[in-house]
Amino acid sequence: MKKILMTGIAAIAAFVAVGARGMTLAEAAAKVADAAESPSAMASVMKELSAEAQVKFLASVNGAIEKMPVSEADKAEKFLAANKAAMQNAAKGNLSTLLAETYATVPLSALTVINERFAADLFNRSADGKRVSDEMMKSNALVAVEAVKDRTAKGDVSNSAERNAFAALTFIRASEGSPADLRDALLAGLPAEAKSEWIPAALGEGEPASYDAILGGEGAASNAQAPSSILPQAPASLTGALAADLSGTVDDNGRTTSSFTDAVLDPNQYALPASGADFGLDGRVPRTQNPDNPWYNGAKRGENKGEGGGYPWQLTEE
């Protein structure tokens, strides 16, 4: 696909298809889902919209992508494809406004991808072997970044400083290091850390490139292993009691009328031990209400518990 030359914000728009611009925003609303999934669908709709409707439609598409139940990496790819298609089909004179909407409505994590690809594919000064002059490069870059700053200054945008820094980074990359004063000009008015930390780290100056500084550590955190919690397994007696309580009632003394629950939780009747299931063990001692069984524990100390009388149906010598 032919690259768009960085020959001026207004001039860039002249290279893209204008189309009939006959679709209303209401009609376009039904195509948001398709545009979020397909850059060709995005391009088709953008060609039919007015300049004002293009901006609103782009914001809607970005909102739809953000809500998709996919990974952050997949979202980043969709943000890039949809927003790139929007830039390539901007109405005449509308490119800087659309660019500002991209940097205001796309999540910061996806701007890490967008700033690199936009710098290389859309705004690079040497696209197609033709190099834009320093004067033109600086003029167009400043116009674009100022448009982003104006948009992110509105109340519906968070992390405006970081978004503005990503916009500046786009044109710092696209300028290929010239003119020498462009970087300072683009970062004017941004927090001091944008110049001292965010941009140097993103460009890999002195160390491997990283967006951790501008993202506030979000990039590193996303790769960290999530802590896990191990909950002890509930004893069988407790789960049985909970199930019984679902159908039980409570009397005036606050006791459940479920005889099953009362029995299970009554240690005097069943002498239930603590569960050893958490450790792969089963330390339960068999209990019974049958006095003929040897493990019957209902007798008092010193009394015959059944062992001396033998087991039911046990053969004995005459």
Question: Please, which residues have CB within 8 angstroms of residue 225's CB and are 6 or more apart in sequence?
Answer: none
pLDDT at 223 over 50: no
Q: What pLDDT shows up at residue 69?
A: 97
Name the more confident of 252 and 63: 63
> Model pTM greater than 0.75?
no
Q: What pLDDT shows up at residue 273?
A: 52
Contacts 24+ apart (CB under 8 A), 217-220: 218/108, 218/109, 219/109, 219/112
pLDDT at 14 over 50: no
Residue 56's nearest CA partner among 21, 81, 29 is 29
Sign of CA dihedral 202, 203, 206, 209: positive
What are residue 235's phi and psi, to 5 degrees? -60, 150
Q: Could you give the C-alpha distances from 11 to 16, 92, 128, in angstroms and in order?
A: 10, 8, 16
Lowest mean pLDDT among 52-66, 85-99, 119-133, 154-168: 119-133
Residue located via tokens 């004067």 = 135
Dist CA 296 CA 99 (whole Å): 82
Q: What pLDDT shows up at residue 241?
A: 45
pLDDT at 275 over 70: no
- pLDDT band for position 1 (50/70/90)? very low
Lowest mean pLDDT among 114-123, 142-151, 285-294: 285-294
Mean pLDDT of 290-295: 70
Q: What pLDDT shows up at residue 13?
A: 43
Contact 104, 137 (CB under 8 A): no
- pLDDT band for position 203 (50/70/90)? very high
- pLDDT band for position 78 (50/70/90)? very high
Dist CA 156 CA 97 (whole Å): 16
Task: Render pLDDT for 26-42 as a digit per residue (tens, 0 to 9).
Answer: 999 999 999 999 999 99
What are residue 16's phi and psi, to 5 degrees? -95, 160
pLDDT at 207 over 50: yes
Task: Render pLDDT for 42-77 as a digit per residue (tens, 0 to 9).
Answer: 999 999 999 999 999 999 999 999 999 999 999 999
Task: Render pLDDT for 296-316 as a digit per residue (tens, 0 to 9).
Answer: 666 665 555 554 455 555 555
Q: Half-sphere exposure (CA, 13 Å, Cβ side) for 118?
A: 31
Task: Render pLDDT for 102-135 as a digit per residue (tens, 0 to 9).
Answer: 999 999 999 999 999 999 999 999 877 788 999 9
Q: The tokens of 256 are what?
A: 């459940």
Q: What pLDDT shows up at residue 291?
A: 72
Residue 103's nearest CA partner among 44, 142, 150, 140 is 150
Helices and strands (H, E) in the chain, number of each type: 18, 0
The mean of the pLDDT values for the chain is 78
pLDDT at 178 over 90: yes
Contact 256, 243 (CB under 8 A): no
Contact 235, 277 (CB under 8 A): yes
Mean pLDDT of 227-253: 48
